[in-house]
């Protein structure tokens, strides 16, 4: 793995859809069998290329949703309205269908299970995907590194991996914040991420946590600004931007 990731010599491989499951009404996890897959680290992503019969092709990036597991590559794709690639991946692909996959890509936005520094994970919408790979890598390794996740979603129905994140996982705290509709009885009114959310849902800056922020561009910029205003060290704030605004 290390060799492929460091050398940058990435080749396109053909993956076939082996398994699929709905995460929300508009987000779907896709598990591909990719013979010869070199392995990856939590936080890395891949390029996916689709090619039509007339030769037209389109390529997009998708984060790896789970730690390395042989030839398996797991992605979670959010359907973007009128989105060329996300609509095909979430609605047009059948079991056994091929797509081209290239990776793993990225060596900065990664978490390794040997790390013991407390971690703050801040996600907007589908930005949870690479952070979930970190949560799963921690659990798989039996790590007790303290993790706190703050996930911003529109409504309770938009929570990804809801059942898995509800299961007890010592040392992992999960906070959902809702921008449009909150569950009944929740004192926080629906609204965008605030200083108070990261103050209560994250770790204090004095703990010097590693912070991973991922989501639509505007969300990432807001969250990173809040972390800085709370005194977090800029060198410990790692960001990954998924796209234009995300709404
Ligand atoms: C490093 C990286 C990792 C990513 N990981 C994931 C992931 O794990 N899961 C995932 O679902 N997406 C992920 N994305 C976003 C993904 O690459 C695509 O941008 C997204 O699927 C939309 O592609 P599309 O072809 O469907 O839309 P397009 O046809 O390219 O765009 C359709 C419309 O949607 C807008 N749009 C494009 N991208 C986005 C976006 N991300 N959010 C909101 N609006 C958008 C466009 O401006 C346009 O108006 C990642 C992006 C990057 C850069």
Which H or E run contains 165? helix 162-166
In the structure, what pLDDT confidence band is assigned to residue 157 with cuts at 50, 70 and 90? very high
Is 90 exceeded by the pLDDT of residue 142? yes
Do 178 and 218 belong to one domain?
A: yes
Residue in the structure block whose two tokens are 């056994």: 96
Give yes or no: residues 133 and 224 share one domain.
Answer: yes
Which is nearest to 33 in space by CA: 3, 74, 65?
A: 74
pLDDT digits over 13-25, tens only? 999 999 999 999 9
Same domain? For 232 and 130 the reply is: yes
Q: Per-residue pLDDT for 7 more than 50?
A: no
As given in the structure block, the two tokens for residue 107 are: 């060596």
Total of domains in the chain:
2
Beta-strand (E) ranges in 52-133? 57-63, 72-78, 98-105, 119-124
**Atom 40 of ligand 1 has which residue's CA nearest to it?**
243
Index of the ligand 1 atom closest to the CA of residue 65: 8
108 lines ligand 1 (CB under 6 A): no
Let me know whether 101 and 124 are in one domain.
no
Give the pLDDT score at 243: 83
Task: Note whether 185 and 124 are same-domain residues.
Answer: yes
Q: Is the pLDDT of residue 6 over 80?
A: no
pLDDT of res. 170: 95
Q: Does any ligand 1 atom lie closer than 6 A to the CB of residue 80?
A: yes
CATH number of the structural domain spanning residue 127: 3.40.50.80
Task: Tell me, in angstroms, the distance from the centre of ligand 1 to residue 60's CA.
Answer: 7
Instruction: Let me know whether 41 and 63 are in one domain.
Output: yes
- Model pLDDT, residue 230: 98
Asked if residue 38 is part of any domain, the answer here is: yes
Residue 8: predicted pLDDT = 53
Could you tell me if 142 and 205 lie in one domain? yes
Same domain for 237 and 135: yes
One domain for residues 123 and 187: yes
Check if 219 has its Cβ closer than 6 Å to any atom of ligand 1.
no
CB count in 10 Å sphere of residue 129:
30
Q: Which of 105, 138, 159 is the last residue of a domain?
A: 105
In a domain, 113, yes or no: no
The verdict on residue 111 lying in a domain is no
Instruction: Tell me what the mean pLDDT of segment 205-225 comes to.
Output: 97
Please report, in angstroms and rounded to a whole number, the separation of the first and last CA atoms in the chain. 36
The reply to whether 85 and 162 lie within a common domain is: no
> Is residue 143 domain-shared with residue 100, that is, in the same domain?
no
For residue 40, give its domain range.
2-105
Give the 3-state secondary structure of residue 55: coil
Q: Clarify whether residues 99 and 179 are in a common domain.
A: no
Q: 33-55: per-residue pLDDT in tens?
A: 999 999 999 999 999 999 999 99
Question: In the structure, what pLDDT confidence band is assigned to residue 9 with cuts at 50, 70 and 90?
Answer: confident
To the question of pTM greater than 0.75 for the whole model, the response is yes
């Amino acid at each position: 793995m290390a060799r492929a990731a460091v050398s940058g010599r990435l080749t396109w491989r053909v993956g076939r859809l082996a398994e699929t499951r709905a995460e929300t009404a508009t987000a779907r996890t896709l598990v591909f069998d990719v013979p010869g897959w070199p392995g990856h680290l939590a936080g890395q992503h891949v390029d996916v290329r689709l090619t039509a019969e007339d030769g037209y092709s389109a390529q997009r990036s998708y984060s790896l949703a789970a730690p390395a597991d042989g030839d398996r590559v797991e992605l979670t794709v959010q359907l973007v309205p009128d989105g060329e690639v996300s609509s095909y991946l979430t609605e047009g692909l059948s079991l056994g269908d091929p797509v081209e996959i290239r990776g793993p890509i990225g060596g900065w936005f990664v978490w390794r299970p040997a790390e013991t520094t407390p971690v703050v994970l801040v996600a907007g919408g589908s930005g949870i995907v690479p952070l979930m790979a970190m949560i799963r890598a921690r659990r798989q390794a039996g790590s007790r590194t303290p993790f706190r996740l703050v996930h911003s979603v529109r409504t309770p129905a938009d929570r990804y991996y809801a059942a898995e994140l509800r299961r007890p996982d010592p040392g992992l705290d999960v906070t959902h914040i809702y921008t449009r509709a909150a569950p009944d009885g929740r004192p926080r009114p629906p609204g965008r991420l605030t200083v108070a959310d990261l103050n209560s849902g994250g770790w204090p800056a004095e703990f010097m946590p590693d912070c991973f922020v991922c989501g639509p561009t505007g969300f990432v910029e807001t969250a990173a600004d809040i972390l800085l205003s709370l005194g977090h060290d800029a060198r410990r704030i790692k960001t990954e931007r998924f796209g234009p605004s995300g709404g």
